[in-house]
Structure formats: structure tokens, C-alpha cells
């Protein structure tokens, strides 16, 4: 997953969906929701182990989790920002 030019692409199980900035809502400093037709489709959150270093040359540490907004039980998808997966 990457953010470029004011959009976030999500690719899960071979299916790709693109969310434009106007369909993204930030919740505090730890999470965002991705919307389609005014309904939340995905949420992305920084895990407790996620660290951003003051020195920009150091890579971030920790994980990011992608959650599918669904009435059915769905497993969170653990992302590793170092591999963009």
C-alpha cells in the first residue's frame, strides 16, 4: 500500500481499489477511514509498536493494520511499511 498524488490504493486478494483524498477521513493521529458512497469500507491504523523517528533519515519501526469494515468477522491485515505489503 502506498500514498501518492492524493490517493491511497488498496490491493487485497488481487483486487485493487483506489480511494481519493476526499474519501479519506482522519481519526486523531492514529487512524484513517476509507469511504465509498459515504460508508466506511476500510480503516487503517498505526499499531502500538509503530514509531516515527525525529531523524528523517531513519526508517519507521512497527506495523500498520488494515481493517475491512464488514458485518461479518474479518481478519485484520497486518502491513509492514518497509515492504509496502
What are 4-48's pLDDT values in tens digits? 578 899 988 899 999 999 999 998 888 999 999 989 999 999 999
Residues 6+ apart with CB under 8 A from 82: 59
Q: Is 55 exposed, middle or buried (0-12, 13-18, 19+ CB in 10 A)?
A: exposed
Phi/psi at 12 (5° precision): -135, 130
The least confident of 22-26, 30-34, 66-70, 71-75 is: 71-75
Closest among 71, 68, 4 to 36, alpha carbons compared? 68
Amino acid at each position: 500500500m502506498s500514498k501518492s498524488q492524493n490517493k491511497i490504493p488498496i490491493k487485497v486478494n488481487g483486487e485493487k481499489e483506489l480511494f481519493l483524498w476526499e474519501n479519506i477521513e482522519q481519526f486523531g493521529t492514529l487512524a484513517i477511514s476509507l469511504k465509498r458512497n459515504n460508508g466506511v469500507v476500510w480503516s487503517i491504523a498505526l499499531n502500538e509498536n509503530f514509531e516515527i523517528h525525529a531523524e528523517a533519515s531513519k526508517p519507521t519501526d512497527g506495523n500498520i493494520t488494515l481493517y475491512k469494515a464488514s458485518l461479518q468477522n474479518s481478519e485484520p491485515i497486518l502491513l509492514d511499511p518497509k515492504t509496502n505489503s
